[in-house]
Amino acid sequence: MRRRPITQMPRRRSGPGERVLYWGAAVAASLLLLPLTLGAQARVETLVLSPEPGERVDQNAVLVAASFIDRDARLEPASIVLQVDGLNVTAEADVSAEVVTWIPRIPLLPGPHRVTLTARDRSGGAISPSNWAFTVTPAAEAAAAAAQLAPAGGAPLWTRLHGSLIFDGAATSVSGPGADLRRDETVLPRMWLNAGGILGAGWRYSARVHVSGYEDATRQPVNRYRLDIRSDWLSLAIGDVNPMVHDLILSGTRVRGIEGSIRAGPLRLTVVKGENRRAIEGLLDPTDPTQILRQGTYGQDLLAVRPALGGQTFQVGLTALRVRDEISSIGDLRTSAERRANPLPKDNVVAGADATLRLAGGRFLMQYENAISLLANDISAGPLTEPQLDSILDAAGYDPLNIDPSQYEKYFIMNASMIPLDPRGLTSLAQQARTSIRIGTNFLSVEWRSIGGSYYTLGYGALQRDRQGFRIRDSFTILNDAVALSGGYEQDEDNLDDVKPATTTNTGVFATASWQASPQAPAIVASVRQGTRQNDLRAGEDGALDERSLALSFGISYPIQVIAGFRTRLNLNVSAINRDDPANPLVESRDRYYLGGIQGETSDRTSELNLLYGLNQSELLGYENAKTDFHRLVANGRQLIRPRLTALLDLSRTSAKSPEAAEEFGLDYNRTEFLVGGEFEWTPASFITLTGGIVDYSDSRFPTLDTKEVVTRLRVNRSF
C-alpha cells in the first residue's frame, strides 16, 4: 500500500522522542485535562486563518496563522504550542494572546503537512486543540504548468484543476434518558472542497467550501464559501473572508462579502466590505410572552479601508473601519411597552495608523500600531441635535464640539450613548509596539500594548480592553541544536482611566527547556511558570486579590524494544499547578496531571500502536469535598492487512469521580467509546474510511443524562 508521505522540515534536528512528547502533551490537553468552570464564561475558540484545511500552497508562500477568540481573556499566551509535522516551532513563531503566525525559515518540502495548535487557560485547563493539514506544491510547479499550457498568443487559459474533496458523514442511533439533549456537530454530515489552478499571464484562482449539517438559520453561519483570484498586483476574495487588516481594528473576524487588495509599485489599497453578523429574529415563549427564549441579533454591516505606502522593508498605512447594526433587519420585539427583547443596536467607527520596518531579510523587525474609536451604544433613536449634544457635554463637564450630528449621520450616529462622550480625553486610544531580532537560532521579541477602557471595535470583539503591559520572550538552541531553551516575562495592569475602585496587576515569568541528542536518543522536556494577580486593596477588603500560581511540567520519552520491528517509545509526563490567594481562600486550587503511555510504529508506518493512560486530580481547597479524579485510558492502532486496506481500532474510557459528600455538586460518570473500521485506498489519490462502534455514557449523579449511542462514520478523501 502506498502511504501518503510524511515530510520533515530541514531545520533543527528532532527525533521521534520529541515528537512523541508533544504528541503526549496534545493528547493530555484534548483528552485528559477536562476543563472545570466556576461560572458562565465563554470558551476560548481557535480560528484557522492560513492555510485553509486541505489547501494547496506554493512552496514559497507558506504562512501558518490562527487567531484566538477569547472574550473573557482566559487564554494563557505562554502555554501556546505550535507544531508542524510534529516539530515544535513555537520559538520561531510570532505568538500573542490573539494571533499566532509562523513563516518557515527554510521552505517546506513538497507534500502534505500537518499543524497542531494547543494552549491552556490561565487556570491551567486545556483549550481544545486545533489540527489541520495542507499540501505544499513545488515553487516551480505553477510557472511550469502555465508556460506549458499557455497558448501561443499568450491568452489566459484555465489549467488543470487541482485540489481536494473531503466528505465526512455519520449515522447515529441514540437511546437513553439523555437522547434528546444530544446534538453533536461532529456527527453531522460535513464537506470540505479546496480547489484551484493557474491562469495565464500570472493569474491564479482558488475556491474553498465548507458545508455542515450544523448550519441553522437561528445561529451565526457555520458554512463557509470563498473564491479567490490573485495576481502580482491584485488579490480578490469573495465570500467568507477573515481579513487581517490591523491588529487593533480588524484581525481575523469573519466577514461574508468581499476583500480586495491592489498593489501598484509602493502604493497599496485594501478594502473589506460585507456582513459580519447575520440577522436573527428574537423569539418569545408562546405560552408566556413575557419570557424571552432567544434574543434577536441585528444584521451587522462592515466596511474597512486601508491605504498603505511602502514595500517589504518599510511600510506605513492608515486604516478606517465602520460597523453598524441594521435596525430594520429584525423586528422590534418586546415583552412589554418598556422592555425590549433585542439588544441595543450599535454604531462604531475606528481609525488608526501602522508602520512596519524590516531589515536584514526580516531578521530585525519593528512595528507600531495605534487606533482610536467611537461607539454609539444605542442608535435606535437616531442622532442628537446640536443643542442637545452641547447640553449633554456641558452637563458632563466638557467643552462644546460645535458639531451638528445630523450632518454626519451617514457616517456615524452621535447621541447620548456615545463611548466615550468626548474623544478628546483619549480614553478610547489603543496602541501597541513590537520589535524582534533573530540572530542564528536566537530569537528575541519585545511587545508593549495599551488598550483604553473606552476603546471598542466591533471588527474585533475578542480584543481585551482596559489593559496595558509588556512582554519579553527569548528562545535559542545550543549544543548543535540538541538543547532548546526559551523563557520570558510579562506584566500588565488595568484601570487605565482610574475609574475602578482598584487596579489589578498581572505578572508572569516562564521558561521551557528540551533536550534530545539524536533522533534515536531519549528526549526530555521541562517547563515552569510562576504568575501573580494582585490589586491594591488591603487584605480583608471586599474584592482584594493576592493570587499566586505555580505550574511545573516534566516529560521524558525513552526508546524501548517491546515488539520486534516496531520503533517503540515509553512516554511519561507529570504536571502540577498550584493556585493560592490568601485574600480569597475560596479560589485556591491544586491540580495534578499524570500521563504515561507507549507509542510504536513500523519504519514504513503500515502498523501503528498507541496506548495511553492519564490521571487528573483537581481540587478546590476552599470547599469541602471539592476534589475530583479524572481517569482516561486510550488505545488505538492501525494495521495493514491487505495491499490497499488498513484496519483501524480506537478504544477509550473516561471516568470522573468526586466524593459522595459532594452530592449534586460533584461528578460521577463513565464514558466508553469503542470504534473499529478500515481505510481503503481506492486510487493513489482517493481514500475511503469507514468506522463504526458504540459510545456509552452513564452518570450516577444525573441518570437523566445517560445515553447509548451506535455510530457509523464514513469519510471520503479525494485529491485531484
DSSP per residue, 182-233: ---GGGS-EEEEEEEEE-GGG-EEEEEEEEETT--TTSS---EEEEEEE-SS
Decide: 78 and 100 in contact? Cβ < 8 Å: no
Neighbouring residues of 422: CB distance < 8 A, sequence distance ≥ 6 = 393, 396, 398, 401
Would you list the DSSP string of 399-424? ------GGGGTTT---STTEESS-GG
Q: Out of 86-95, 372-381, 633-642, pick the least confident.
A: 86-95
Task: For the chain, give the percent of residues with pLDDT over 70.
Answer: 85
Would you list the DSSP string of 561-617? --STT-EEEEEEEEEEEEEE-TT-GGG-EEEEEEEEEEEEE-TTSSEEEEEEEEEEE
What's residue 22's pLDDT? 31
Does the structure show a pLDDT above 70 at 234?
yes
What's residue 35's pLDDT? 30
Rounded to whole angstroms, the Cα distance separating 284 from 293 reads 5
Decide: 436 and 443 in contact? Cβ < 8 Å: yes
206: confidence class by pLDDT, cuts 50, 70, 90:
confident
B/e letters for 531-546, b = 16+ CB within 10 Å, e = fewer, are bbbbbebeeeeeebbe
What's residue 142's pLDDT? 45
Q: What is the mean pLDDT of residues 443-462?
A: 92
Strands 314-326 and 267-277: unpaired
pLDDT tens for each residue of 314-330: 999 999 999 999 999 99
Name the 3-class secondary structure at 481: coil
Rounded to whole angstroms, the Cα distance separating 45 from 75 reads 10
6: confidence class by pLDDT, cuts 50, 70, 90:
very low
What's residue 70's pLDDT? 60
| Cα R_g (the chain), whole angstroms | 27
Rounded to whole angstroms, the Cα distance separating 194 from 165 reads 6
Decide: 510 and 491 in contact? Cβ < 8 Å: no
Q: What is the mean pLDDT of residues 395-419?
A: 86
146: confidence class by pLDDT, cuts 50, 70, 90:
very low
Output 143 or 515, whichever has higher pLDDT.
Answer: 515
27: confidence class by pLDDT, cuts 50, 70, 90:
very low
What's residue 202's pLDDT? 78
What's residue 507's pLDDT? 96
56: confidence class by pLDDT, cuts 50, 70, 90:
confident
What's residue 116's pLDDT? 82
687: confidence class by pLDDT, cuts 50, 70, 90:
confident
Q: What is the mean pLDDT of residues 338-365?
A: 92
Would you list the DSSP string of 327-355? GGGS---BSSSS-BSSPPP-EEEEEEEEE
Mean pLDDT taken over the chain: 82
126: confidence class by pLDDT, cuts 50, 70, 90:
low
Give the H/E segment covering residue 63: none
Strands 126-137 and 56-58: parallel
What's residue 29's pLDDT? 32
Q: What is the mean pLDDT of residues 673-701?
A: 90
Q: What is the mean pLDDT of residues 141-148?
A: 47
Does the structure show a pLDDT above 60 at 646?
yes
Q: Out of 71-75, 196-200, 641-645, 674-678, pick the least confident.
A: 71-75
Name the 3-class secondary structure at 151: coil
Output 584 or 234, whichever has higher pLDDT.
Answer: 234
pLDDT tens for each residue of 216-229: 888 888 898 999 99
What's residue 131's pLDDT? 76
pLDDT tens for each residue of 458-471: 998 878 899 999 99
Most trustworthy range by pLDDT among 9-13, 171-175, 429-433: 429-433
Q: What is the mean pLDDT of residues 357-374?
A: 92
572: confidence class by pLDDT, cuts 50, 70, 90:
very high
Nearest to 12 by CA among 439, 482, 438, 445: 482
Rounded to whole angstroms, the Cα distance separating 76 from 90 reads 14
What's residue 124's pLDDT? 53
69: confidence class by pLDDT, cuts 50, 70, 90:
low
Output 89 or 678, whichever has higher pLDDT.
Answer: 678
Residue 634: HSE in the Cβ half-sphere, 13 Å Cα cutoff: 19
Rounded to whole angstroms, the Cα distance separating 458 from 349 reads 9
What's residue 184's pLDDT? 54
Task: For the chain, give the percent of residues with pLDDT over 90.
Answer: 38
Q: What is the mean pLDDT of residues 472-478?
A: 91
Decide: 277 and 291 in contact? Cβ < 8 Å: no
Instruction: Give the amino acid at 43.
Output: R
What's residue 130's pLDDT? 77
Q: What is the mean pLDDT of residues 197-204?
A: 79
What's residue 25's pLDDT? 32
Q: What is the mean pLDDT of residues 363-383?
A: 94
Does the structure show a pLDDT above 70 at 277?
yes
Does the structure show a pLDDT above 90 at 49?
no
Q: What is the mean pLDDT of residues 395-424?
A: 86
Does the structure show a pLDDT above 70 at 139?
no
What's residue 39's pLDDT? 31
What's residue 128's pLDDT? 66
701: confidence class by pLDDT, cuts 50, 70, 90:
confident
Residues linked to residue 523 through DSSP beta bridges, in sequence order: 557
What's residue 489's pLDDT? 96
What's residue 470's pLDDT? 96
Task: Enter the C-alpha cell of residue 378.
Answer: 444605542
